[in-house]
Amino acid sequence: MRVGFVGLGTMGGAMAANVARAGFEVTAWNRTPGRAAALADLGVRLASSPAEVGTASDLIVTVVSDTPDVEAVLFGAAGVASGAGSGTLVVDMSTISPSATRDFAARLATQGVGMLDAPVSGGSEGAKKGTLSIFVGGEAANLDRARPVLAAMGTTITHVGPIGSGQAVKAVNQVILAGTYLGVAEGIVLAIKAGLDVEQIVAALSGGAAQSWVLTNRSGRMLENDYPLGFKVALHRKDLGIALELARETGTALPISALCEQIEAGLIGKGHGDDDMSAVARAIRELSGLPG
Ligand code: NAP
């Protein structure tokens, strides 16, 4: 199967590399030339537009930032839709709005192009190692076609319902992460202020009920007050916007997510939008009289 990639950022670059390593013929495009340059060593062919990726591929993966960006690479000038033939399949692995996803799928269907939404969890580490969790919305027959490609990127592939459902599940994931990051940040700052040996207590807590991926993988950054990527604060705030919109549509109260979204807005205002999301600890540190 010929696989296309549109978006070679932190996630897309690593995911395209794994698909190429699995033996698929890969054609890729990125808006800013020169990103993920190492892909050429894996035999990935670079295209000059998303439309060219669409023409050269049976299955096209999109991994860009936000809802308007997916719309631009699919339907903009020289977008995927202007090059993809009937019978091809678009698999959007960005994190975007569930309702916009349904709209994009309907527009693609008018020209015989199928669509799955397949957002991921597992961070930049999971993208590099090929161990992502993938939440898939769409028709089962389309997932059957995409599964060998998805299996090159992730280890847990779950069909969660019709088109748009993958994005709704991802919103749930991001809501849970909001609480987890804030909770770990508060715990680590309390440990610092109480004069505890933070590395020792992280090891001790990791054997108990407070264990989490965030505690294991991000508490060190909160202790050092240094937040290399990772997952950008600005992208998590974008994801909480999607979750809060879904909450409004469904009559759900999300007080922790709303608080986290505002803390992240403050971080972005101070120029920390490109920090890793663990930088929410900056806000808790500052409130507690530590350098933020
Ligand atoms: P990133 O490193 O900032 O990369 C974003 C990519 O999107 C770049 O290739 C960028 O191109 C492209 N892009 C953005 N707007 C575009 C537009 N209007 N037209 C064309 N290309 C555009 O972000 P990332 O971390 O890879 O995240 C990508 C998606 O995965 C996001 O939806 C994010 O929420 C999701 N995600 C990320 C993580 C993570 O840990 N990083 C985890 C799970 C899910 P340029 O190079 O030209 O800027």
AA letter at 111: Q
Q: List the catalytic residue out of 128, 129, 170, 232.
A: 170
Q: CA–CA separation, 139 vs 114, rounded Å? A: 9
Q: Name beta bridge partners: 117.
A: 92, 137
Q: Kindly state the tokens that stand for 276.
A: 């890793």
Residue nearest to atom 48 of ligand 1 (CA): 32
pLDDT tens for each residue of 13-36: 999 999 999 999 999 999 999 998
Q: Cα(10) to centroid of ligand 1, in Å?
A: 7
Tell me how far CA of residue 129 lies from CA of 1, 3, 12, 21, in angstroms: 22, 19, 13, 12
pLDDT at 37: 87
pLDDT band at 292 (very low <50, low <70, confident <90, very high): confident
Q: Cα(249) to centroid of ligand 1, in Å?
A: 26
Residues 55, 29 contacting (CB under 8 angstroms): no
**Domain locations in the chain as residue ranges:** 2-162, 168-287
Other Cβ atoms less than 10 A from the Cβ of 129: the count is 15
Mean pLDDT of 214-221: 96
Q: Kindly state the tokens that stand for 240.
A: 């909480």
Domain 2-162: CATH architecture, name and number where available: 3-Layer(aba) Sandwich (3.40)
Q: How many residues does the chain have?
A: 292
Q: Cα(110) to centroid of ligand 1, in Å?
A: 27
Residues 6+ apart with CB under 8 A from 32: none
Indicate whether 229 pLDDT > 90. Answer: no
Chain centroid offset of residue 171 CA: 11
Domain 168-287, CATH class in plain words: mainly alpha
pLDDT tens for each residue of 149-169: 999 999 999 999 999 999 999
Q: CA–CA separation, 212 vs 181, rounded Å? A: 10
pLDDT tens for each residue of 51-86: 999 999 999 999 999 999 999 999 999 999 999 999
**Would you say the CATH fold of 168-287 matches that of 2-162?**
no
**Mutate which of 15, 153, 235 for ligand 1 pocket (most atoms within 8 A of beta carbon):** 235
User: In the annotation, is 238 catalytic?
Assistant: no
Peptide bond into 230 cis (omega under 30): yes
